[in-house]
Amino acid sequence: MASQQHLSTIKGAKVLMVGAGGIGCELLKTLALSGFQDIHIIDMDTIEVSNLNRQFLFRKSHVGQSKAKVARDAVLRFRPHVSITSYHANVKNQEFNVDFFKQFSVVLNGLDNLDARRHVNRLCLAAEIPLVESGTTGFLGQVTVHVKGKTECYECQPKPAPKTYPVCTITSTPSKFVHCIVWAKDLLFVKLFGDKNQENDLNVRSSDPASSSDHAEDVFELKKDETIEQYGRRVFDHVFGYNIEVALSNEDTWKNRNKPRPIYIRDILPEEPTNQNGNMDKICATDEQSLISAMTSIGMKNPQEIWSLMENSRIFTEAIVLFFTKRKKDVGNLSFDKDDQLAVEFVTAAANIRAASFGIPMHSLFESKGIAGNIVHAVATTNAIIAGLIVVEAIKVLQNDLNKYRMTYCLEHPSRKMLLMPVEPFEPNKSCYVCSETPLSLEINTSHAKLRDFVEKIVKAKLGMNFPLIMHGASLLYEVGDDLDEDMVANYAANLEKVLSELPSPVVSGTILSVEDLQQELSCSINIKHRDEFDEEKEPDGMVLSGWQQTTLEKGDSSKTSLGNGESTSKALPSTTDANKNDDADIVASGTKRKLEEASSGVDASSSANEANSLKKLEVLDDDNDLVVLDDDGDLVTNKKKRLQ
């Protein structure tokens, strides 16, 4: 039974929830039932059919509507006297600034990506408002508390970078099905239906001029005198036949590898496919994107069946026909979306054909969609448990009961007969550039790199700033804002295209740049160090930032390149583990291990190494997006951090 003091604290609190998805629905319900009277919700998403199996405030009739608004209306039906304000918007919008955050007693996160989490963390630090973070993935989950000056902030420990694969593995020597998925999703799909100017190795040429004469023109350009079917078969022959033959010509590559076999469509489908199921007219009668399906068009129904090589070939060519006939207006600016049925079908077929060529087992549409979209199936009860723990920690925060704060981990299997493992929070990391303002250092070729490279690859991609302001001493080099006049905008645009050493206030080795984000009220200093050369495979950005780091997800493999959130290059390809839109799953790893053998109250100080390792695997969990990666090295915790006294 809650005490009167608890009830008074709860009723007087003004709470901001960010995210109304898997955790958010459970959290809003629990807050309302716990007696909170003033709740605000921000969520930019709309309801999808796939949400309905775990986001229980939503119904089928709500599909397409705002999550925040529908969640509010659903809770008001059984708690009509609670004040709930919903915002169908992005939390990164300028209206949600520091002054907006200052009106709340506590902020509760149920977000779906690292970028937004970092943004909210910084606003909470600037507004000096406590933040309760959370996340789930399957049976695993965690809740952490972040209070400025008292506990570490969300960014005090490095977050994992999206796993990447070297371009040579993806384009030349795939050995796993995931390599084929990445090739189909990030190279072929984009080349056919997205930005055709993307640089990749799909349009390869033979070193023999005679043999490459038929491939002198751009294979991916539709000719005036050919049908879409002919175009699809020509693309098929190029990527699965000709390209493989060119690869086989380099005999050294295959000395210690199994050779792939070229696949030409005439050997699989002797004649151009015709629709024998009478479904094309039905497909063509609708303009609704979600109903356009190559499977339906050729009469296939089971997404869990592994298609034959012939069936994959038919899906491949049929998907191209449907994209260029029924979705022609989209062609040229498409990117892969796991909720786009036709895109998933195309990627599955393309990956399977490539897998067949390289002797890799093929996968079903269901399995391929999970790999391509980073889907980790949600467990609704985990969301409910985590939501309850968020409210428990929020009440502690509201009562300023620092000694009782806990980071709580929800485990899949009992450890010392416990499924919920509490751990005491840690003090702020003194080297954190976000909450401790520790200077960073950047190695960069100041004679070649442009200011645009610095802004895009460092300031935005790695430091997560949305509205950056960059100064060299008293000289303002770059600024973003709606209140800038045309001359200033033109001046900053011109600066972006200038080499660092040629800026009005030259940036050279030894320069200290001041970078700020006025919306986040975050500032940091970056020491510039000139460096002539960089390893294109290991350092594809052509610059190295120190003092800020993301953890590579595969240790000991120097050929893999970690990219910042949302960043991509032509030298290192984001794998299927990039931060794409997913459901109830995220990153479950951290490079800096917590000292878990120091027991918190309720946990025996003699906890075994296995328990410590079990908990360290749960370092960074997120609710609705990204990747699940378990740290399975089995090492004991080595980085000792001070616990709160």
In the chain, list all ranges with CATH 1.10.10.520: 181-359
Cβ neighbours of residue 278 closer than 8 Å, sequence gap 6 or more: none
What's residue 206's pLDDT?
Answer: 39
Please identify which residue in the block is written with the tokens 């699989």.
Answer: 268
Q: Evaluate if residue 570 carries a pLDDT over 60.
A: no
Tell whether residue 21 is among the known ligand binding residues.
Answer: yes
Tell whether residue 112 is among the known ligand binding residues.
Answer: yes
For residue range 432-485, list pLDDT tens digits in order: 989 987 889 999 999 999 999 999 999 998 898 988 999 998 899 999 887 788
Tell whether residue 43 is among the known ligand binding residues.
Answer: yes
Tell whether residue 19 is among the known ligand binding residues.
Answer: yes
Sheet holding 14-18, edge to edge: 83-87, 38-42, 14-18, 106-109, 131-137, 140-146, 407-415, 418-423
The CATH class given to the 4-161+377-423 domain equals alpha beta
Cβ neighbours of residue 182 closer than 8 Å, sequence gap 6 or more: 165, 170, 573, 574, 575, 576
Cβ neighbours of residue 618 closer than 8 Å, sequence gap 6 or more: 140, 141, 142, 409, 411, 588
Tell whether residue 52 is among the known ligand binding residues.
Answer: yes
Say if CB 503 and CB 451 are below 8 A apart.
yes
Residue 223's pLDDT band (cuts 50, 70, 90)? confident
Of all helices (H) and strands (E), which one includes residue 543?
strand 543-546
What's residue 359's pLDDT?
Answer: 95
What's residue 273's pLDDT?
Answer: 52
Cβ neighbours of residue 485 closer than 8 Å, sequence gap 6 or more: none
For residue range 40-96, list pLDDT tens digits in order: 999 999 998 888 989 999 999 999 999 999 999 999 999 999 999 999 999 999 899
Say if CB 1 and CB 93 are below 8 A apart.
no
Half-sphere exposure of 371 (CA within 13 A, CB side): 24
Q: Evaluate if residue 594 carries a pLDDT over 70.
A: no
Q: Which fold has domain 440-546?
A: 3.10.290
CA-based nearest residue to 15, from 290, 303, 397: 397
CA-based nearest residue to 111, from 42, 50, 31: 42
Tell whether residue 547 is among the known ligand binding residues.
Answer: no
Tell whether residue 410 is among the known ligand binding residues.
Answer: no
**In whole angstroms, what is the distance from residue 58 CA to residue 326 CA?**
31
Supply the pTM of this predicted model: 0.71
Tell whether residue 20 is among the known ligand binding residues.
Answer: yes
The mean pLDDT of 367-376, rounded to a whole number, is 85
Say if CB 458 and CB 450 are below 8 A apart.
no
Residue 546's pLDDT band (cuts 50, 70, 90)? confident
Of all helices (H) and strands (E), which one includes residue 524?
strand 522-530
Tell whether residue 25 is among the known ligand binding residues.
Answer: no
What's residue 608's pLDDT?
Answer: 37
Cβ neighbours of residue 499 closer than 8 Å, sequence gap 6 or more: 446, 447, 448, 449, 450
Give percent helix, percent strand, percent coil of the chain, each to the nearest 5: 35, 15, 50
Alpha-carbon separation of residue 1 from 4, 5, 7, 9, 553 (angstroms)? 9, 11, 10, 14, 45
Residue 344: how many CB atoms within 10 A of its CB? 25
Q: Evaluate if residue 401 carries a pLDDT over 90.
A: no
Question: Which residues participate in catalysis according to the annotation?
Answer: 168
What's residue 8's pLDDT?
Answer: 84
Cα-based angle 282, 287, 293 (whole degrees, multiple of 5): 60
Cα-based angle 498, 503, 505 (whole degrees, multiple of 5): 165
311 token code pair: 């069936």
Alpha-carbon separation of residue 586 from 226, 630, 645 (angstroms)? 45, 11, 31
In eight-state DSSP terms, residue 241 is I
Residue 364's pLDDT band (cuts 50, 70, 90)? very high
Q: 55 versus 3: which is more confidently predicted?
A: 55
DSSP E strands in 88-198: the ranges are 106-109, 131-137, 140-146, 164-166
CA-based nearest residue to 546, from 463, 638, 474: 463
Phi, psi of 209 (to 5 degrees): -55, -35
The mean pLDDT of 543-571, rounded to a whole number, is 45
Tell whether residue 24 is among the known ligand binding residues.
Answer: yes
Tell whether residue 23 is among the known ligand binding residues.
Answer: yes
Q: 247 versus 622: which is more confidently predicted?
A: 247
The mean pLDDT of 155-179, rounded to a whole number, is 81
What share of the chain has pLDDT > 90, as a percent?
A: 53
Tell whether residue 153 is among the known ligand binding residues.
Answer: yes
What's residue 332's pLDDT?
Answer: 86
**In whole angstroms, what is the distance from residue 88 CA to residue 95 CA?**
12
Alpha-carbon separation of residue 643 from 150, 159, 424, 640 (angstroms)? 10, 20, 7, 9
Say if CB 43 and CB 67 are below 8 A apart.
yes
In the chain, list all ranges with CATH 3.10.290.20: 440-546
What's residue 586's pLDDT?
Answer: 37
Cβ neighbours of residue 509 closer than 8 Å, sequence gap 6 or more: 446, 528, 529, 530
What's residue 236's pLDDT?
Answer: 96
Say if CB 584 and CB 378 are below 8 A apart.
yes
Say if CB 160 and CB 442 are below 8 A apart.
no
Tell whether residue 113 is among the known ligand binding residues.
Answer: yes
Going 291 to 295 to 301 to 304, the CA torsion angle's sign is: negative
- Domain 181-359 CATH (choose: 1.10.3720.10, 1.10.10.10, 3.40.50.800, 1.10.10.520): 1.10.10.520
For residue range 319-336, list pLDDT tens digits in order: 999 999 999 888 888 889
Residue 133 Rama label (left phi>0; alpha psi -120 to 50; beta)? beta
Average pLDDT, the chain: 80
**In whole angstroms, what is the distance from residue 635 CA to residue 617 CA?**
11
Tell whether residue 340 is among the known ligand binding residues.
Answer: no
**In whole angstroms, what is the distance from residue 338 CA to residue 505 CA?**
46
For residue range 231-290, list pLDDT tens digits in order: 999 999 999 999 999 999 988 888 888 899 999 999 998 776 554 444 444 444 455 666
